[in-house]
Chain A
């Protein structure tokens, strides 16, 4: 009993101290910078190359901690202990969540040298819903459609430029034995359909926008209303369902596949078309599928749009601001951005540069795929609602609903009505419902 009381007392003490110095900074503190990066393997070699260049230039040491698994959970643990790093490098989609948790600081653009050269869409995306800067972008990308060109050639099919042609090619890839092994073991469309981390909705976003729909409509003042009950959303859901349930052109087991499994399906010739980011060039070029695919702007619907994503740098609460600002400025410099694209050939941690003076095409020896990636991002890149207080929860709900609809081949309009209701109630819970 006494122990329990002691636990309760010390717990209260810990919690009480939580409210204390939120958002504070240690601007004058010195010493090595602590940087956390969500990543692993070769990516970390690329980041290390950038940090080494920074240390060589400024004399400021950087201590890096990296993990791919449960990055945000570990950050929460560091937040409870009030031992946050100075900078965290993570998905742009975490912005709203980090701000709500009070673990990041507002960015003052004038303290980031070179911020005038930042690419405007990415820079805008680093604002919260009230328009305040809460991150500095480091890398962006927009999805492309990867297609097996040897399969197209074998079956005398055109490179698709319309949704109808995508479906037609997908059906032919499934039925006409494009790999010529005499077995019905190929499929048209490669979909990471798992609900894990929200993969299925992440894939479907492009389809939703191309159909002319959206997750929410803005009511202004940082308020939103769910917009998934419109006819465009239903059409997008219907067309997705048609691929898997009617035409049956999606790889088997897709409802449990994450991106690793979906990558494997493309690499090993199970599926012939795959909507994914240009980071996959490096991944695929290390496998047997190298040189056997083309990339195109995804023609999934009448409206030109494709999912854009970013990697942001967050200035954490309590950071050593003077030195951290120097690192943030360095990370967006031409030197660091180029290193991020080329230092390690298997890991382009900078997918598309956020610095207007840097070109991905030039960095990758005029590879036309990167030219296309850059052009598609600029003309059709569409971000999700990263500045919502908890976008990941909204994305998870979307994934659960779409995964269930696809698994049961159930009515798209019912699914969208249900999803819209759940979405609206989550918006309310997060305090951003209009």
Chain B
């Protein structure tokens, strides 16, 4: 646990002038200057408070009600939560979300890593290529989804199907088939997020001491062995960041689903957040939607803690 926590604590105490006790006495001596850092933090805290913490707390509170904005809410205790556990559409959305998050995160990380290996380096042409490869990240998802909708048109005349036809594969249904839609959505997600992962990996690769490679080479390690015994272990912290960010992003997936399929066909791409949104809007059940959001928040928080714990354990 925490080598990171301990080291942070250590650095903090070192920075605040050793030993800590004297820092305390000095604070009193300066006469109430302790509020100064808080003043600097105040704008950000106020902003977060109004737009993050307050709505979150409010949402948790609403999850205990049958929400009727005008007539007054009705207290139903954990009724919305009980409903969630017995809602087959939500349960299937949860499974889709888990599958989608895992597949897209692992896929993006793998492809991002491969791209990073190929495109790492200071040469100008590599910088150009990296920029080109990075473009999907900066394209608005809505625009990209429209583009992919066209590319994946499920008839023989569709762009991707034409290419498949050239190599003798018949037209695929992609987003129109309940059996292929989730995989198609995942492919689009990987296309969109792999370059982002690539940039993080490139930064990680740049930070590896070149002498390690040279030493390994002198010891007779081949390219694959250098990758296995030098690059991968050195990238472990970076990989954790990529996976953590990816999982959190994956659990909250919304735009890709909403624009590409809106959960269809046959609910095969329905994930938690679009389902939640539908409960609040189409079905006008804000209390239930708040309960689903609250559970998602708890799961995301637990997952983040778990990853941090695991990482700390591994690094110890």
Q: Which residues of A contact B (CB under 8 A)?
A: 4, 7-8, 11, 15-19, 22, 70, 72-73, 76-77, 79-80, 82, 84, 97, 101-103, 183-185, 193-198, 252-256, 258, 317, 390, 392-393, 396, 400, 403-404, 406-408
Given contacts A22-B70, A102-B71, A183-B157, contact A4 B57 (CB under 8 A): yes
> Which of A19, A103, A254, A400 touches B267 (beta carbons < 8 Å)?
A400
Q: Is there contact, CB below 8 Å, between A390 and B284?
A: yes
Which chain A residue has the least Cβ–Cβ distance from B61? A11
Q: B260 on the interface (CB 8 Å rule)? A: yes
* 0/1 string, B181-217, CB within 8 A of A gives 1: 0000000000000000000000000000000000000
Q: B120 on the interface (CB 8 Å rule)? A: no
Which chain A residue has the least Cβ–Cβ distance from B174? A253
On chain A, the residues within 8 Å of B73 by CB distance are: 15, 18
On chain B, the residues within 8 Å of A193 by CB distance are: 265
A-B interface contact total, Cβ < 8 Å? 123
Using A18-B72, A185-B156, A255-B266 as known contacts, list a sample of 17 further A-B pairs with CB atoms less than 8 Å apart, ordered by residue number in A. Answer: A7-B58, A15-B65, A22-B70, A70-B281, A76-B286, A80-B70, A101-B70, A252-B154, A253-B154, A255-B264, A256-B262, A392-B282, A396-B278, A396-B283, A406-B265, A407-B264, A408-B266
Which chain B residue has the least Cβ–Cβ distance from A404? B266
On chain A, the residues within 8 Å of B158 by CB distance are: 252
* 0/1 string, B164-178, CB within 8 A of A gives 1: 000000000001111
Q: B153 on the interface (CB 8 Å rule)? A: yes
Given contacts A72-B284, A392-B283, contact A22 B266 (CB under 8 A): no
* 0/1 string, B225-260, CB within 8 A of A gives 1: 000000000000000000000000000000000001
Q: Is there contact, CB below 8 Å, between B284 and A76?
A: yes
Interface centre among B65, B72, B178, B286 (most CB of A within 10 A): B72
Q: Is there contact, CB below 8 Å, between B70 and A256?
A: no
Q: Is there contact, CB below 8 Å, between A407 and B262?
A: no
Q: Is there contact, CB below 8 Å, between B282 and A102?
A: no
Q: Is there contact, CB below 8 Å, between A256 and B260?
A: yes
Q: Is there contact, CB below 8 Å, between B264 and A256?
A: yes
Q: Is there contact, CB below 8 Å, between B282 and A396?
A: yes
Q: B220 on the interface (CB 8 Å rule)? A: no
Q: Is there contact, CB below 8 Å, between B267 and A79?
A: no
Q: Is there contact, CB below 8 Å, between A393 and B282?
A: yes
> Which of B57, B157, B282, B286 touches A7 (beta carbons < 8 Å)?
B57
Q: Is there contact, CB below 8 Å, between B71 and A19?
A: yes
The complex places the Cα of A17 from the Cα of B124 at a distance, in Å, of 65
Which chain B residue has the least Cβ–Cβ distance from A258? B262
The complex places the Cα of A16 from the Cα of B74 at a distance, in Å, of 10
Q: B43 on the interface (CB 8 Å rule)? A: no
Which chain A residue has the least Cβ–Cβ distance from B260? A256
Q: B69 on the interface (CB 8 Å rule)? A: yes
The complex places the Cα of A11 from the Cα of B67 at a distance, in Å, of 13
A/B interface sample: 15 pairs, CB < 8 A? A18-B73, A22-B70, A70-B281, A72-B284, A82-B70, A103-B70, A195-B267, A196-B262, A198-B282, A254-B176, A255-B176, A256-B262, A317-B70, A392-B282, A407-B178
* 0/1 string, B54-76, CB within 8 A of A gives 1: 10011001000100111111000
Given contacts A18-B72, A252-B155, contact A392 B262 (CB under 8 A): no
Q: B112 on the interface (CB 8 Å rule)? A: no
Interface centre among A194, A197, A255 (most CB of B within 10 A): A255
Q: Is there contact, CB below 8 Å, between A253 and B69?
A: no
> Which of B71, B263, B281 touches A101 (beta carbons < 8 Å)?
B71
The complex places the Cα of A312 from the Cα of B175 at a distance, in Å, of 36
On chain B, the residues within 8 Å of A76 by CB distance are: 69, 284, 286
Q: Is there contact, CB below 8 Å, between B284 and A393?
A: yes
Q: B268 on the interface (CB 8 Å rule)? A: yes
The complex places the Cα of A325 from the Cα of B157 at a distance, in Å, of 55
The complex places the Cα of A201 from the Cα of B108 at a distance, in Å, of 37
Given contacts A256-B176, A393-B284, contact A407 B266 (CB under 8 A): yes
The complex places the Cα of A339 from the Cα of B149 at a distance, in Å, of 38
Given contacts A195-B263, A392-B282, A407-B265, contact A8 B70 (CB under 8 A): no
Given contacts A8-B61, A252-B153, A392-B283, contact A403 B70 (CB under 8 A): no
Which chain A residue has the least Cβ–Cβ distance from B146? A261
Q: Is there contact, CB below 8 Å, between B284 and A408?
A: no
Q: Is there contact, CB below 8 Å, between A195 and B262?
A: yes
Q: Is there contact, CB below 8 Å, between A404 and B267?
A: yes
The complex places the Cα of A15 from the Cα of B72 at a distance, in Å, of 5
